Chains A and B, each alone.
Chain A
Amino acid sequence: MRKVSLVAILSSLLVATALTPARAGDMTFERALSADKEPQNWLLHHGNFAGHRFSALNEINADNVKNLRLVYSVALGGFESGGRYKFGNLEGTPIVEDGVIYVTDGWGSVYAIDGTNGRRGGIKWKMDPGTDRAWAGDVACCGVNNRGVALWKDKVISVTLDGRLIATNKATGEMVWERKVADPALGETLTMAPLVVRDIAIVGAAGGEFGIRGYVDGTDLNTGKQVWRTFTIPGAGEPGNDTWKDGKERWKHGGGSVWETATYDADSDTFYQGVGNAGPDWDPEYRPGDNKWAASVLALSPSDGKIKWGYQYTPNDPYDFDEISEHPLVNAKINGEDRKLVVHAARNGFFYALDRVNGSFVAGKQYVDELNWTPGLDPKTGRPLAYDPGKDVQVYAPGSHSMRGSAASHTCPSHFGGKNWEPTAYNPQLGVLYIPSIEGCNALETVEQKDFVDQGGTIKPRERFSGGGQKTTTRLYGSLKAVDPATGEIKAALRLDYPNYSGALATGGNLVFLGHADGEFTAYDAKTLKPAWSFNVGTGINAPAVSFAVNGKQYIAVLAGSRQSPFVVGLAPELKNTSTASMLFVFAL
């Protein structure tokens, strides 16, 4: 009787809008929209829908951070080899709800870690999805990656490298359903944390080096079925398809992969998705034209995937300036006018501020130390000044990229970026965006791309489709830059010993946390960027930190131990003997 009445009361409290009703403690769209009101939790991949990666918690601050200490660590798995890789990476952003920390390893296992007692992280459950490692790992361009989960109702939503979207029971770890989204048979893989808007999970396929045609894909989480798919490379008759001027339908293998989580603006019900490089990466003569929407941002509707507008950063990109990384949403007063901006620290070395309502260019400024591919951006349009509208195949600054028959290039920033996938963080109290980046130059060598078998050539699906190769023989370094997001003006800059592949966390304690390839996990003063505290975890860090609180006590958590880039370690002898691990580290005062 008592049981029945409890159920009845609970049911009456629910708004029965969906097949799976939300229960107390479940993740709802309303909670996601106001994630900032739950600073004790880290509910969304980028902290909030606006992509700020900011925790308002301020128990740990610039004055007392020197007392920050390791309180517990948890050993994870994901060491298995597969495909081209010796073991999985750790690039994930933890999601934290009510003291339970949800993380993934590179092969897509999800771990629910109970951090409620504050001195030990017990693994409540582990969901191993049984990824086909050889099948998927052989078509992963850059490592065995998984950047984290999303919460929805009473489920944990995650992806696997072999192309599946999975819903797992949050309480028990039981896999409830899975849907095949991406197809490794076509060179497609999934590595990004899903973006959940209402009841739709949005993911996209990686594979820009394997001749895919990229897309963003929406799944109805109530049914586990696809509701829409929007290709980033427009098809015949669609706007932008005429920017593929080869006349041989090469847009069908045109790249434009998607592998980092979008930002979302509820006011206009729009999500902002960064899009990867055109394929093949380094043979622009294979694909004359601007190659939309590669190297771009798209503003889309989450209900139907319709494109509202697009903005392309590097037309006919010969560099692999893949722009999948986050596009934070910032409001600012510009010339006395309130503007809604979407901003982006681009892999091409420029910071961009766009009007997020219509996609018009507002501001752009170089943020990397060295940039040689264009003298600057057009102040009205943001187009690279070296762009020639009369040419189908762009020749940006000569020698900054390779062409058929030409020598290796000297490319600055290197094709790695600028900023790669590793996310920025934005402190709204200070109005400053923190850009962790990769500094330095490298070389690109074009090899004339052969056609795919379906277009009369010899290249089979799953084979590399990059139109050449890269060569990195000079040591790269990194930087952390504090930037005004309305203008791109650099307010403070710090040189880092290593290119940054981990991403930033900003906190209300006026700190910025950043992990490094040598295992240093460092807190910087948000205003001066001076290191305020550092701890060496003994293995390289390739993941961004998060902050949360349990019983009023603030914690900082970060995954560490990823396989390090051979182009970092191979040129840094002092890192040569660093071992890979697979760990979660949690710090507190």
Chain B
Amino acid sequence: MGLRLAIGVALGVAALAATPARAQATLSPEEARTLEYGKEVFKTKATCQYCHKWDASGDQGYGGNALSLRKTQLTPEQMAEVVKCGRPGTGMPYHDRFAYTDKRCYGMTRDDLGKDMPPAGNEFLQAREIDAVVKYLFAKAVGRGASTYEECVGFWGSDTRECEPMRDAK
């Protein structure tokens, strides 16, 4: 419990300035490509959306009680650490293949964590993938209010009925 509290405090503090999403127009081609790459990790490769929902607003159910990333107070660095290391004591999985084999995550190993060891993600991610998914989330989700129809079409494309309820609700 003390351990979990300590990690929680470490993750929860800071976040001094919310990082406002930069306008699409100012993105270099490379930055835009990184966001697409990060979206692919979020949507398909690591399937973050299974638990956090497509708009990263958090969800319940079989994926557990997953937090809203739209409302998160984490800094990009902290979010990258959570993706890499998971959240001990919760269902948030780690995505660094070598997490807890040494002290790279919160200074702890699998033995230190014991029962609080988080599960492994469906896929492990390389550093550049973690960097991209965090950039994607800060560009498209963090600090934003409720998701919009336009965001939905941006995520799923227009060849599905997925976003119709949001359009109809407008």
- Inter-subunit contact B122/A471 (CB<8 Å): no
- Give A473 to B45 CA distance when docked, in angstroms: 23
Query: CB of A305 within 8 A of chain B?
Result: no
Query: CB of B44 within 8 A of chain A?
Result: yes
- Inter-subunit contact B115/A460 (CB<8 Å): no
Contacts of A468 in B (CB 8 A): 60, 65
Comparing B14-22, B31-39, B73-81, B160-168, the segment that makes contact with chain A is: B160-168
- Inter-subunit contact A461/B165 (CB<8 Å): yes
- Inter-subunit contact B47/A84 (CB<8 Å): yes
- Inter-subunit contact B54/A138 (CB<8 Å): yes
Contacts of A474 in B (CB 8 A): 115
- Inter-subunit contact A86/B120 (CB<8 Å): no
Comparing A3-11, A41-49, A338-346, A570-578, the segment that makes contact with chain B is: A570-578
Comparing A16-24, A25-33, A109-117, A127-135, the segment that makes contact with chain B is: A127-135
- Inter-subunit contact A569/B122 (CB<8 Å): yes
Q: How far is the CB of B11 from chain A (nearest CB, A)?
A: 18
Chain A, residues 458-485, CB within 8 Å of chain B (1/0): the string is 0011101011111111100000000000
- Inter-subunit contact A132/B161 (CB<8 Å): yes
- Inter-subunit contact A135/B162 (CB<8 Å): yes
Known: A138-B54, A141-B62, A447-B65. A185 touches B165 (CB 8 A): yes
- Give A10 to B113 CA distance when docked, in angstroms: 74
- Inter-subunit contact B62/A134 (CB<8 Å): no
- Give A378 to B121 CA distance when docked, in angstroms: 43
Q: How far is the CB of B155 from chain A (nearest CB, A)?
A: 9
Query: CB of A142 within 8 A of chain B?
Result: yes
Contacts of A217 in B (CB 8 A): none
- Inter-subunit contact A469/B54 (CB<8 Å): no
- Give A135 to B43 CA distance when docked, in angstroms: 14
Contacts of B119 in A (CB 8 A): 472-473, 566-567, 570-571
- Inter-subunit contact B161/A464 (CB<8 Å): no
- Give A135 to B152 CA distance when docked, in angstroms: 12
Contacts of A445 in B (CB 8 A): 64-65
Contacts of B43 in A (CB 8 A): 81
- Give A202 to B61 CA distance when docked, in angstroms: 28
Q: How far is the CB of A421 from chain B (nearest CB, A)?
A: 14
Interface residues of B in 80-123 (CB under 8 A from A): 90-91, 93, 115-122
Query: CB of A91 within 8 A of chain B?
Result: no
- Inter-subunit contact B121/A81 (CB<8 Å): no
Interface residues of A in 140-189 (CB under 8 A from B): 141-142, 184-185
Known: A134-B160, A142-B62. A85 touches B90 (CB 8 A): no
Known: A460-B165, A569-B122. A135 touches B59 (CB 8 A): no
- Give A462 to B162 CA distance when docked, in angstroms: 10
Contacts of B91 in A (CB 8 A): 469, 471-473
Q: How far is the CB of B38 from chain A (nearest CB, A)?
A: 16
Chain B, residues 129-170, CB within 8 Å of chain A (1/0): the string is 000000000000000000000000000110011101100010
- Give A297 to B162 CA distance when docked, in angstroms: 33
Q: How far is the CB of B90 from chain A (nearest CB, A)?
A: 7
Known: A86-B44, A135-B161. A470 touches B62 (CB 8 A): yes
Contacts of A326 in B (CB 8 A): none
Interface residues of A in 545-589 (CB under 8 A from B): 566-567, 569-571, 573, 576
Contact of A85 among B50, B65, B121, B164 (CB under 8 A): B50
Chain A, residues 71-88, CB within 8 Å of chain B (1/0): the string is 000000000010111100
Query: CB of B56 within 8 A of chain A?
Result: no
Q: How far is the CB of A110 from chain B (nearest CB, A)?
A: 22
- Give A484 to B90 CA distance when docked, in angstroms: 40
Query: CB of B66 within 8 A of chain A?
Result: yes
Query: CB of A323 within 8 A of chain B?
Result: no
- Inter-subunit contact A469/B66 (CB<8 Å): yes
> Which single residue of chain B is at the shortest CB-CB distance from A445?
B65
Query: CB of B12 within 8 A of chain A?
Result: no
- Inter-subunit contact B44/A81 (CB<8 Å): yes
- Give A133 to B120 CA distance when docked, in angstroms: 26
Query: CB of B63 within 8 A of chain A?
Result: yes
Contacts of A567 in B (CB 8 A): 119
Query: CB of A209 within 8 A of chain B?
Result: yes
- Inter-subunit contact B160/A133 (CB<8 Å): yes
Q: How far is the CB of A527 from chain B (nearest CB, A)?
A: 37
- Inter-subunit contact A85/B47 (CB<8 Å): yes
- Give A83 to B59 CA distance when docked, in angstroms: 15
- Give A417 to B64 CA distance when docked, in angstroms: 17
Q: How far is the CB of A172 from chain B (nearest CB, A)?
A: 28
Q: How far is the CB of A569 from chain B (nearest CB, A)?
A: 7
Contacts of B72 in A (CB 8 A): none
Q: How far is the CB of B141 from chain A (nearest CB, A)?
A: 16
Q: How far is the CB of A442 from chain B (nearest CB, A)?
A: 10
- Give A282 to B43 CA distance when docked, in angstroms: 27
- Inter-subunit contact B115/A570 (CB<8 Å): no
- Give A571 to B121 CA distance when docked, in angstroms: 10
Contacts of A461 in B (CB 8 A): 165
Contacts of B169 in A (CB 8 A): 460
Contacts of A185 in B (CB 8 A): 161, 164-165
- Inter-subunit contact B120/A570 (CB<8 Å): yes
- Inter-subunit contact A576/B120 (CB<8 Å): yes
Known: A135-B162, A461-B165, A473-B115. A570 touches B121 (CB 8 A): yes
> Which single residue of chain A is at the shortest CB-CB distance from B97?
A576
Q: How far is the CB of B102 from chain A (nearest CB, A)?
A: 16
> Which single residue of chain B is at the shortest CB-CB distance from A573?
B120
Q: How far is the CB of B46 from chain A (nearest CB, A)?
A: 9
- Give A187 to B115 CA distance when docked, in angstroms: 35
- Give A445 to B118 CA distance when docked, in angstroms: 17
Q: How far is the CB of A452 from chain B (nearest CB, A)?
A: 13
- Inter-subunit contact B47/A86 (CB<8 Å): yes
- Give A47 to B166 CA distance when docked, in angstroms: 44
Interface residues of A in 490-542 (CB under 8 A from B): none
Q: How far is the CB of A545 from chain B (nearest CB, A)?
A: 26
Q: How far is the CB of A581 from chain B (nearest CB, A)?
A: 16
> Which single residue of chain A is at the shortest CB-CB distance from B160?
A134
- Give A391 to B126 CA distance when docked, in angstroms: 53
- Inter-subunit contact B157/A134 (CB<8 Å): yes
> Which single residue of chain B is at the shortest CB-CB distance from A281?
B61
- Give A474 to B116 CA distance when docked, in angstroms: 10
**Contacts beyond the supplied A85-B50, A134-B162, A467-B60: 18 A-B pairs with Cβ under 8 Å:** A81-B43, A84-B50, A86-B45, A134-B156, A135-B160, A142-B62, A209-B61, A447-B65, A460-B169, A461-B165, A462-B165, A464-B59, A469-B91, A470-B61, A471-B64, A473-B116, A569-B120, A571-B119
User: Would you list 19 pairs from A and B whose C-beta atoms are within 8 A, ordered by A residue?
Assistant: A84-B47, A84-B54, A85-B47, A85-B50, A86-B122, A132-B160, A132-B161, A141-B62, A281-B61, A464-B59, A466-B62, A469-B61, A470-B62, A471-B91, A473-B116, A567-B119, A569-B122, A570-B122, A571-B119
Which 4 pairs from chain A and chain B are nearest by CB?
A: A570-B119, A469-B65, A134-B160, A469-B64
